[in-house]
Amino acid sequence: MLTDTKARKCKAGDKPVSVGGVSGLRFEPSSQNGKAKFTLRFVSPETCKRRDMGLGTYPHISIAQARATALKYKALIADGIDPIDQRARDARIQEQENTIPTFATACEKVFADISPAFKNNKHKQQWINTLRSYAIPKIGNITVDQLRIADFADALRPIWLTKPETASRLKQRCERVMLWCIAQGYIEHNPVSSVSALLPKQPKKRDRVQHFPAVAWRDLPSAAKQLFQTDNMTCGKHALLFLILTAARSGEVRGATWDEIDLPNNVWSIPAHRTKTGKPHNVPLSTPALNLLKHRKPFAHEGPWVFSKSGRSPLSDMTLSKILRDAKIASDTAQRFATVHGFRSSFRDWASENGYARDLAERALAHAIKSETESAYHRTDLLEQRRDMMENWGSFALKQCIFSL
């Protein structure tokens, strides 16, 4: 077995000696102009030819380190892999990983990392599409280490004032990408954090909030009559009516399944993964809502969804909007038609002006409680207290309609 004492005694020009412990591992004494080194002589399992593989110079690489490295490569040989070729492949991969990416590449890598955490597929696509639409076309081909504050300002400027909400989200997502680049060691500081200094001041958020156009609550009975007083009550109209009666969100209604409906107890239980807040939401079903569900029950054999045209998929997100658009239902906003989401506002205004407690109305709408302290003390969903409110809301909404539900 080769020891350090023996290795130091070897002179330039001496013949290579076996290190011992690993077949083929040799110690080659230094030449006149070089250093002593370790080599592994083996027969390539891929070409069946003899090859010598350098393992480093002595004493920079110790005898023990050389043996350990040789054993690792011998294991590759036993598996039919040429260690010289494998080392070259590993080096190419490492070189690619160390290459500083363009902003476009960084965006896609960050999106791949975080996308599994998104619960809503629509929000997931919005995250990357914002970058693809506004930032990547302008700065996507620039490597992240070359990006400056002005580059991000140029990408944000076209929508900074005209689309402030989108611009704010774009800025946040650019910042998220550049923070990832810092963590990867590609850059040392985040240029997006100072980009506002190069852009005009945006209007305050409260001055730019755009509410969904809604039917004024006093006009809801006549709007319901216009929509539902017909012999042609389609699946889409049933879904829209159910949305109004429950004050639920469009996605919750369209995705409703029969296993969420408890007809004996008059409750619709929306699971956490289908709500905006990520928490389960129980909806007390009024008499009109129950009758509508009983009317839909004969279609249950066609699929799991309560509202489905074919039984193979739920209604699309445009179905309810098209019904409203075709009916040209007026809203409380001048020169704009009502939106599906606006019916939640109609319900909220009705509840406020008819003496219902704020807490009841907010629970009916499944709004998140922003205050952590307040949220900690709200352990009940006030389901039973909400029943009378939803019953009265249903009666009010359909008081001008003459049909059997």
Q: Tell me: the pLDDT tens digits for 219-253?
A: 999 999 999 887 778 999 999 999 999 999 999 99
164 inside domain: yes
Residue 370 within any structural domain of the chain: yes
Tell me which of 312 and 291 has the higher pLDDT.
291
SS3 string, 211-229, reads CCCCCCHHHHHHHHHHHHC
Same domain, 361 and 236: yes
Q: What is the pTM of this model?
A: 0.53
- The confidence score (pLDDT) of residue 332 equals 63
Same domain, 227 and 202: no
The residue from 174, 208, 242 where one domain ends is 208
Q: What contacts 84, CB < 8 A, 6 or more positions away?
A: 44, 51, 53
Q: Is residue 403 part of a domain?
A: no
Rounded Cα distance, 275 and 366, in Å: 8
Q: At 350, which amino acid appears?
A: W
Report the CATH number at residue 111.
1.10.150.130
Q: 331 and 235, same structural domain?
A: yes
Asked whether residue 167 falls in the same domain as residue 308, the answer is no
Q: Are residues 286 and 201 in the same domain?
A: no
* Percent of all residues in the chain with a pLDDT value above 70, rounded to a whole number: 90
Q: Are residues 340 and 261 in the same domain?
A: yes
Per-residue confidence at 378, pLDDT binned at 50, 70, 90? low
Over the stretch 254-285, which tens digit does the pLDDT of each residue have? 999 999 999 999 999 999 989 888 889 999 99
How many domains does the chain divide into? Answer: 3
Domain identity same for 265 and 330: yes
Q: Report yes or no on 405 lying in a domain.
A: no
Can you give the residue range of the structural domain that contains 124?
103-208
CATH code for the domain of 361: 1.10.443.10
CA nearest 344: which of 212, 202, 247?
247
- Please report where in the chains the tokens 């003899």 appear, as a residue: 50
User: Based on the domain organization, do 170 and 291 belong to the same domain?
Assistant: no
Q: Which CATH number is 56's domain given?
A: 3.30.160.390
My answer on whether 285 and 389 are in the same domain is yes
Burial class (CB in 10 A: 0-12, 13-18, 19+), 200: exposed
Asked whether residue 198 is domain-assigned, the answer is: yes
Contact 304, 256 (CB under 8 A): no
Give 376's pLDDT tier (boundaries 50, 70, 90). very low
What is the three-state SS of 55-83? EEECCCCCHHHHHHHHHHHHHHHHCCCCH
Average pLDDT value for residue range 196-210: 71
Please check the confidence at residue 377 and state whether its pLDDT lies above 50.
Answer: no
Q: Are residues 45 and 110 in the same domain?
A: no
> How do residues 55-101 score in pLDDT, each as one tens digit?
988 888 999 999 999 999 999 999 999 999 999 888 777 766 668 89
Q: Considering 29, 63, 98, which residue would you say is the last residue of a domain?
A: 98
Residues 8 and 82 in one domain: yes
Q: What was the pLDDT predicted at 404?
A: 60
Tell me the one-letter amino acid at 359.
Answer: D
